[in-house]
Amino acid sequence: MNISFVFLLGLLVAFIGVVPPGLLNLTAAKISLKEGYPRGFIFSLGACVIVGFQTYLAAIFAKYLNQHLEIVEILKRVALVVFVLVSIYFFFLAKRDANAKEIDALESKKSRFFQGIFMSALNMFPIPYQAYIITTLVTIKWIFLDNLSIVAYVAGTVSGTFVGFYIYILFFEKIKNSKISSQKYMSLAIASITALVAIITLVDVLLIS
């Protein structure tokens, strides 16, 4: 397996996951806007440490699932229901919070690195997201879960996440007053992503059936 290809897969998957506006990337951008780029980068590094750990756990979980394919089919159906419910939840949340205020960054000045770690640890979505993606990639034989491939994929994920944060940090000044940084848009973006994943999962389940 080409390690560079595995690295790029991890980078692309993570970048796609972090591009929609969310609490972490918007917080990194707001910190950089108020306190300078270095602070925003330090926050992003802390968040990326946890993302790497979460991706590693997801890879280990996917490796287990690959050895028990009967469980994979059950989890795909469970995931389909979960993604549909999450999509519906965030869609209605976006409508309800149309006039909600933006989420402000935490005020702690002591360590943006540990703030990034803490806030990223509260976000558990990367684990099921990465486990599903990795399992799919293994199924189509784009990656194999040997130790070197896992390390390369995790490294790619960390890099892709940081690149996503980096883009937000650099361009947030231009979009801070636009609807993309609003709570409503965040909810709609998450709803759209989970709906897309639900559709892909449904197609996968129907093809297998």
Instruction: State the virtual CA torsion across 176, 16, 46, 124 in degrees, nearest 10.
Output: 110
pTM comes to 0.71
| pLDDT confidence of residue 137 | 86
| Sequence letter at residue 73 | E
Q: What is the pLDDT of residue 209?
A: 55
**What is the DSSP annotation of 46-111?**
HHHHHHHHHHHHHHHHHHHHHT-HHHHHHHHHHHHHHHHHHHHHHHHHHHHTTTPPPPPPP---S-
The pLDDT of residue 152 is 93
Domain presence at residue 35: yes
At residue 187, the pLDDT reads 62
Q: Which residues of 78-116 are buried (b: 16+ CB within 10 A; e: fewer)?
A: ebbebbbebbeebbebbeeeeeeeeeebeeeeeebbebb
CB 62 within 8 A of CB 54: no
Is residue 54 one of the residues assigned to a domain?
Answer: yes
Distance from chain centroid for Cα 75: 19
pLDDT per position as a tens digit, 10-66: 999 998 888 776 778 878 888 888 888 888 899 999 999 999 999 999 899 888 877
**Is 127 a member of any domain?**
yes
More confident call, 65 vs 120: 120
Position 192 in a domain: no
pLDDT of residue 28: 86
Whether 60 maps to a domain, the answer reads yes
Whether 208 is in a domain gets the answer: no
Give the model confidence (pLDDT) of 123-182 as tens digits: 777 887 888 888 888 888 888 888 899 999 999 999 999 999 998 888 876 655 555 555
Q: Which of 12, 116, 129 is nearest to 59 (CA)?
A: 129
Domain that holds residue 110: 3-75+102-176
Count of the separate structural domains present in the chain: 1
- Go through the chain and tell me how many residues it has: 209
- Count the neighbouring beta carbons within 10 Å of the beta carbon of residue 68: 10
Domain-located, residue 13: yes
Structural domain contains residue 197: no
Q: pLDDT for 83-119, tens place per residue?
A: 777 777 667 755 655 444 444 444 444 588 888 898 8
Q: Residue 71: is its pLDDT beyond 90?
A: no
Per the CB < 8 A criterion, the answer to whether 161 and 47 are in contact is: yes
